[in-house]
Structure 1
Amino acid sequence: MFAHNFLYTLKILLGRRSLVFWTMAFPLILATLFYLAFSNFSASSQFEPIRIAVVRSEEKTENSEIFESAIATLSDPDQETQVFKTHYTTAAKAKQQLADNKIAGYIISSDQPSVHIKENGIEQTILKSAVDEILVDTDIIQHAAAKQIEIEMRQGNPNPDVQSITQEAADAVLNEDVKIKDISGEHLDPIMVEFYTLLAMVCMYSGTIGMEAVSKHQANVNAQGKRTSITGVKKSTLVFSSALASWLIQLAALTVVFLFTYHVLHIDYGTHWMQVILLTCVGSLAGLCFGIFVCTLPKISQPNKDSLIITLTMVGSFLSGMMGVDMKYFIDKNMPLVNKLNPVAMITDGYYALYTNIGAARFYEDLFSLLIFSGILLVIAIFGLRRQTYDSL
């Protein structure tokens, strides 16, 4: 019965022209309009390295030395991918420079480095993400060094060169993992947020397909639901098979949008393709769970549920920067909880984190937030569907 309903749902959904339009045709049209509108507007000049200050702690530790080495690597003017323009000063001078807007922020280098900023923005976001990434790399370096020391001691070396081993581990990790590269021009182009928000919107539009697939099993919605409710087949089997069919259709639509924007519009999604695909699948799943959740809401007609999904998706896209990246930063600065709960913002932020290489921690935070969002809505929807019971004849 699972396979039968799965194939039947695929056939039904693919025959709905309105769903095909909203999930595939509309995003392609919108992407083309974005490209035409912003192709000459995109920033083409070199982005200046971010001005920051570093306050050295009086007490030198292994962590602080590794941290300062990473900052020095990202601040090297001889590198084509210089990220920061760094100078070392005292805490008092750094505070004054920050107050005078001479620097984007300053870092206090210690065993547990801390970042101090005056306001949120692109530069401040990159600074905080870079520090987070360096801290993760520091843990990796310490673990790798400890493992190598243990190996040498087992091989008969009672006094391994700890400093040399740590430095080798640091060189390996920092050269491979701290890759906030090419932030000039295209890699800090705020227009990319528009396209990432577009993809996030398409992910959330899977809610309309999910709702359409699940609603046909609700007896209080249509005649088909009345017939399926008296068959004796478990509702969970019908719902999950329909949801799976909906998810696959949405992933197919997203594939078309990706191929069109990448090969035709030449939109760059960075080099982390596996993470991009993972984020897209999870984002589409979040949209599906959102649609199933709306489908179970009582006392709302089917047309109004459709309107609710589209309206909330568009509002979420607007707050995520679709109509202007300034809106995203305004919300992040003044009402950060809004975009923390906004699935469109989570998806957009995840794409941008991958594109600019500003930290795996930020990407996985967005990814797990989407999974939690999906899980909560799905649990609520399941309880809502379980309350809708009917006698079999």
Structure 2
Amino acid sequence: MYARRPVYPVPQVRRLLPACAICILLIILVSTAGSFGELSASISYRATASTGQFPRKIWQTWKVDPLGFEERDLSVARTWTAKNPEYRYEVLTDQNDVQYVETHFGPSGFNRLDIIYMYKSLRLKIIKADLLRYLVMYVEGGVYTDIDVEALKPIHRFIPQRYSEKQIDMVIGVEIDQPEFNNHTILGKKSQSFCQWTFMCKPRLPVMMVLINNILRWLNQVAIDQKVPISEIQLGFDEVISGTGPSAFTKALLSYMSGKEQVGVNWDYFHNLVESKLVGGVLVLTVEAFAAGQGHSDSGNHNAKNALVKHHYHASNWPTAHPRYNHPVYGEVEKCNWDVECVKAWDYNKAVFDALSQEEQLAQIALKDQTESEDISFPGPIS
């Protein structure tokens, strides 16, 4: 004799249907996204696509998670959550960064194994830090800001009221606006740049992937030129700036804006910028917004109405591992901080030094070392 099937009351079956539907939907989403991390990024992207809003998310990267922050870093980080309580906040660390990259760029994500290989091979911390911010912003968007950057104003102030958020794909600010040094052998490539210690963008923005691909090609070429694996490449200060830093960031963005506007967009568009400008979906803020108080580029001060963040630079010690050009007598031209007369004097003194015989140069270096040891200012030739 066959057992009789249990018969459920119709109301009970109806109550089960919504739960079943939700389970099926979750299974579909997870199978599509590959993981809950990828699911979160997918939802963020779809929300941005449907609403036109920037993701309400603040990203930082650091050695440790917020529970391990020193008081110095904690007090600065708190300014972001205090001024933006409606935003989620996340820090990627030296312990979980690889997992993030593998999740989103592995076979269940964008399937870019070359990106994973490059990221895991790199040993230069500043290069990894630059690359990671671009990877995160491509995947999820939101606001990226360095660990030593303080929020002075809430994020909604990043976009002036005259603009609609739907019009804008990215918000950046000018960092260095000194085009008169464009042809300088050392300062030239750094004289016109956007700030990348704080910026905001929507997810899956093509310019971010272009920038990432540019970096991968450059690093591979560096390894070839130096005849070493990626893990052993060595870079100077200017190579970092032009390879992954502000110069690389700026170059990619100018090219992107040119493509969107179908006209050549160069630095003339942003020189002496007195108010924000929207070009090709990229909102460019004045230097005062993200880079106030630098002492150059007409950057104003942090008390100004349009100053949005304050960079404290206490985490910016990477140049010790990637030194600037340091003349044996006259030191670093960057110490002039873009002062025209100071740079002219440095250039003149260097030219005079270069014209000396090797014996005379060694004598100049010895005199400089002696005066430094005796704490006497070295006069040298002057213009």
TM class by shorter-chain length? Answer: under 0.3
State the TM-score, normalizing by the size of structure 1.
0.27
Q: Bigger relative contact order, structure 1 or 2, given CA contacts below 8 A and separation 6+? A: 1
- Structure with more strand by fraction: 2
State the TM-score, normalizing by the size of structure 2.
0.28
